[in-house]
Amino acid sequence: MIHNVTSESPIGIFDSGIGGLTVVKAVQAALPAERIIYFGDTARVPYGPKSQVTIRKYAYDDTLILMRYQPKMIIVACNTVSALALDVVEKACGTLPVIGVLKAGAELAVNATKNNRIGVIGTQATVSSNAYACAINMLNAEIEVISQACPLFVPLAEEGFIDHPATKLIAREYLTEIIQHDIDTLVLGCTHYPILRRVIEETIGQSIRIIDSAEAVALRTKQLMTESELLNPARRAYAPHLLVSDLPQKFSMLYKLFMGSEMPDVELVEV
Amino acid sequence: MIHNVTSESPIGIFDSGIGGLTVVKAVQAALPAERIIYFGDTARVPYGPKSQVTIRKYAYDDTLILMRYQPKMIIVACNTVSALALDVVEKACGTLPVIGVLKAGAELAVNATKNNRIGVIGTQATVSSNAYACAINMLNAEIEVISQACPLFVPLAEEGFIDHPATKLIAREYLTEIIQHDIDTLVLGCTHYPILRRVIEETIGQSIRIIDSAEAVALRTKQLMTESELLNPARRAYAPHLLVSDLPQKFSMLYKLFMGSEMPDVELVEV
């Protein structure tokens, strides 16, 4: 063990930017007594289009930043790092458990599907990497995975166009084809997409089950902490401790959009 | 003079990413016999949200990359660098003339307005910097400038949603208020926006004159090269020489979207 872990140690969560706040929110909802340290690498976002060497270096940096706070586990809220550099994170944090958003989402989807046809939506980088399809087929090779990149969903979510007619039109454009493949399960393979969940639900109809990777991670975390007897016994709820590598102008607006509450103090760290 | 300049020397153009290709296209249209070297810093895009220190460092790097090709002048196609680091570029290229997209657009708008009411649209970073308003008011303090950030226009343009009903809805949302301010001139203060020119025109109506900063730079360049007797006498048209710091997956699709022609070879440079 690299440092001394107790049930009161925090849970470390990182992402390339602010998208991982949906994971923070889901973990808070599942485990309100846990202390959460979140690092968003807002200075170097997005990771998706960068080379694998660069992404692996960033994943290492991000892990070390969280390790300063002696966490009891690490959650990789970034789909790109989950796909291309989870081993880097695991190595950098020794015996600490690591959960990646991608595998957690894939597992939940595999358990949910009845007809073995799963849809996955994500950024262009995530979809091109084929990472969800690989993770799903590692668990069950029989399952057919149909993927669709939805590149405008991130900017639409960040601009708060949650319920806008333009978002509905774009959702219809992206999702019409994928639902024609008779999927019964749809994975939201990007941390921003839960923000647009209602529009997505309206577009695909009620017969398709939505798998929110953020919720999947939270479930898996609760399970793991329970098994390891590391659940925080505190009876109070903690605000997350936020670290960012750059402070975008819109940060407090985005925090409110993602978390539904006012932004606490934010600490700027150098990368 | 840092290096030997002749009429056959190339014109160097740089931008934080691919947006500056609209400037390349406008310069090519105005001066088809000129050789153009374009550098797009696709590895470090976007500049807008970064700190001024970082932007000034990048501007210096970008200039030095172009200087290797011994240009006869430099065009700064990046609004952020034009606003915050034009002096860095000027210093780094000695006695060579430098034209920034921002000042060229501001000058043309000031000459065009009859009622002294100019609208400016751009990214959040450009609008928050107030750079167009300052440049316009330096030329004529009487002019009222009304600005509006249109953050979804860049992703919509890059996704090729040129004529999409969703783009029309979003354009109406962004532009309805600004045209109520009785402007007679609207500056496209972002290099991506010419891609959406038709939707913007349809939304604002024919009574408002659109100033395309890319065309403004091309006009100013032609004037400057004519005055300095540095026009290339060649009777052939050259394809631009393209340098990028990273090669995004969509690059050739984007090139075609911006330039209307197939992508020539692209050279990868390290930054």
Under the banding of pLDDT at 50, 70 and 90, the label for residue A1 is low
| Amino acid, single-letter form, for residue A155 | P
Higher pLDDT, A86 or B270: A86
- Sign, CA torsion A228/A233/A239/A245: negative
Smallest Cα–Cα separation from A76: which of A125, A30, A41, A112? A41
pLDDT tens string A255-270: 999 998 888 889 999 8
Most confident of A76-80, B43-47, B233-237: A76-80
Say if the Cβ atoms of B51 and A246 lie within 8 Å: yes
> By the 8 A CB rule, do B220 and B227 touch?
no
Contacts of B158 in chain A (CB under 8 A): 151
The crossing angle, in degrees rounded to 10, of helices B21-30 and B251-259 is: 40
Say if the Cβ atoms of A156 and B152 lie within 8 Å: yes
Active site residue B190: yes
Active site residue B134: no
Which of B43, B49, B166 lies at the smallest CB-CB distance from A166? B166
ipTM exceeds 0.85: no
Contacts of B17 in chain A (CB under 8 A): none
Smallest Cα–Cα separation from B204: which of B259, B161, B148? B148
Residue A11 touches chain B, beta carbons under 8 Å: no
pLDDT tens string B134-168: 999 999 999 999 999 999 999 999 899 999 999 99
Q: Is the pLDDT of residue A170 over 60?
A: yes
Say if the Cβ atoms of B169 and A165 lie within 8 Å: yes
Q: Is the pLDDT of residue B211 over 90?
A: yes
Contacts of B125 in chain A (CB under 8 A): 249
> By the 8 A CB rule, do B75 and B11 touch?
yes
**Looking at residues B205-211, what average pLDDT do you find?**
96
| Mean pLDDT, all residues of chain A | 93
Residue B68 touches chain A, beta carbons under 8 Å: no
Is A52 strand, coil or helix?
A: helix
Contacts of B248 in chain A (CB under 8 A): 49
pTM: predicted TM-score of the whole model, two decimal places: 0.88
- Taking CA–CA distances from A155, the nearest residue in chain B reads B152
Say if the Cβ atoms of A152 and B173 lie within 8 Å: no
> By the 8 A CB rule, do B154 and B181 touch?
no
Residue B207 touches chain A, beta carbons under 8 Å: no
| Least confidently predicted of A142-151, B44-53, B214-223, B227-236 | B44-53
Residue A172 touches chain B, beta carbons under 8 Å: no
> By the 8 A CB rule, do A250 and A17 touch?
no
Contacts of B166 in chain A (CB under 8 A): 165-167, 169-170, 173
A183 alpha-carbon distance from chain centroid: 22
pLDDT tens string B64-101: 999 999 999 999 999 999 999 999 999 999 999 999 99
Distance CA A149, CA A147 (A): 7
Contacts of A124 in chain B (CB under 8 A): 249-250
Most confident of A37-46, A50-59, A78-87, B106-115: B106-115
pLDDT tens string A121-131: 999 888 988 99
pLDDT tens string A208-248: 999 999 999 999 999 999 999 999 998 888 889 999 998 76
Q: What angle do CA B83, B89, B92 make, to 5 degrees?
A: 160
Scanning B233-252 for CB atoms below 8 A from A yields: 246, 248-250
Q: What angle do CA A83, A86, A89 make, to 5 degrees?
A: 150
Pairing of strands A144-149, A117-122: parallel
Residue A124 touches chain B, beta carbons under 8 Å: yes
Say if the Cβ atoms of A249 and B51 lie within 8 Å: no
Question: How many beta-carbon pairs below 8 A join chains A and B?
Answer: 60
Structure tokens at B157: 């343009």
> By the 8 A CB rule, do A146 and A116 touch?
no
Say if the Cβ atoms of A152 and B151 lie within 8 Å: no
Say if the Cβ atoms of B166 and A161 lie within 8 Å: no
